[in-house]
Amino acid sequence: MRIITFILSFAFIFSFPTHCPVYSCDSNILTGENCSKINFESENVTIALKGCKEDLVCDVSPFNLQETSCSLYYTTTKFYPGEYCRNETECYSGICENGKCKGQEEDKDCTKDIDCDPGLYCLEKFCKKAIVNDIYGKNQKCAANYVKNDNRCVKIGSIDNDKPASVSGACRSLYINSKGLCSEGPKLIKSESNSTKCQYQVSETEKEDGDPVCGMSKSGESYCNPGVGDIDFASVLLGILV
């Protein structure tokens, strides 16, 4: 996942109308014990990656353009409460129980949210339960998979179309129209290879333009992202968010 995040980060550097770069892979640019490298040459991008030995990882952090060597994961990154671990050295809290990092329990001392167990956050130096389907007060926070909608914490994607909402994330469609109601989102009207402009149907009478984005192909072509209202797009996003 870290490798995918690293590579995708570079795709968004090349915003249209800049000419889209041509991507290729070539492990020959690696030297010694290095496991990753990315080269920018004119309009071409060359990426090199190779695997590491057991218990080692290739730390391909975004925008690290230098050659990277295999290293122990916990020497650079600590896991938060609730994440999987092999030993206490991998955990931010220094506690690994039953294969997961352990945080502070409810009403225990804390200085940051990441000091607390999953479902809790740090409020006035004590771990407290995050809010679910209820009114939130000053400095309180909604639980994971919930958003602040007006003065309540509601589950992401829980409000049907034609109902009022203050944030798009609360809508099942993940879109709010100009009247402040959840509604079907914009749909991509037409998408062609190497597009110079994208157009979306917002309503029966309204259209809006958008910019294409660069892909990461050998042909250096651009493309149009789908609209929030396109078939299954919102449902896929909800599957990730919820």
Residue of higher predicted confidence among 49 and 115 = 115
Note whether 51 and 111 are same-domain residues.
no
pTM of the model: 0.60
Q: Structurally, how many domains does the chain consist of?
A: 2
Q: Give the confidence band of 103 by pLDDT, cuts at 50, 70, 90.
A: very high
Residue of higher predicted confidence among 99 and 34 = 99
Query: 């179309």: which residue's tokens?
Result: 161
Q: What is the pLDDT of residue 6?
A: 37
Per-residue pLDDT, averaged over 144-155, amounts to 89
Four-residue CA torsion sign, 107, 108, 110, 115:
negative
- Report the distance separating Cα 236 and Cα 157, nearest Å: 11
Query: Does residue 153 form part of some domain?
Result: no
Q: Give the confidence band of 8 by pLDDT, cuts at 50, 70, 90.
A: very low
Give 159-214 pLDDT, tens digit per residue. Answer: 999 999 999 999 988 889 889 999 888 988 876 666 678 888 888 888 888 888 88
Residue of higher predicted confidence among 22 and 180 = 180
Q: What is the pLDDT of residue 164?
A: 95
Q: What is the pLDDT of residue 193?
A: 63
Beta bridge partners of 208: 200
Query: Does residue 115 form part of some domain?
Result: yes
Note whether 6 and 67 are same-domain residues.
yes
Query: Does residue 90 form part of some domain?
Result: yes
Write out the two tokens for 221: 């072509």
Per-residue pLDDT, averaged over 122-149, amounts to 86
- Report the distance separating Cα 132 and Cα 130, nearest Å: 7
Q: Please say if the pLDDT value at position 17 is more than 70.
A: no
Structural domain that includes position 97 = 78-128
Whole-angstrom Cα Rg for the chain: 23
Four-residue CA torsion sign, 9, 13, 16, 18:
negative
Q: Please say if the pLDDT value at position 225 is more than 70.
A: yes
- Report the distance separating Cα 92 and Cα 5, nearest Å: 22
Query: Does residue 122 form part of some domain?
Result: yes
Whether residue 130 contacts residue 108, with contact meaning beta carbons closer than 8 Å, is answered with no
Side chain identity, residue 194: N
Residue 234's alpha-carbon distances to 27, 67, 124, 238, in angstroms, are 38, 38, 37, 6
Residue 216's alpha-carbon distances to 51, 98, 150, 226, 233, in angstroms, are 21, 41, 40, 17, 21
Q: What is the pLDDT of residue 62?
A: 54
Note whether 41 and 18 are same-domain residues.
yes
Query: Does residue 210 form part of some domain?
Result: no
- Return the closest-CA partner of residue 134 out of 149, 121, 120, 152: 152
Q: First CA to last CA across the chain, in angstroms?
A: 19
Q: Please say if the pLDDT value at position 151 is more than 50.
A: yes
Q: Give the confidence band of 217 by pLDDT, cuts at 50, 70, 90.
A: confident
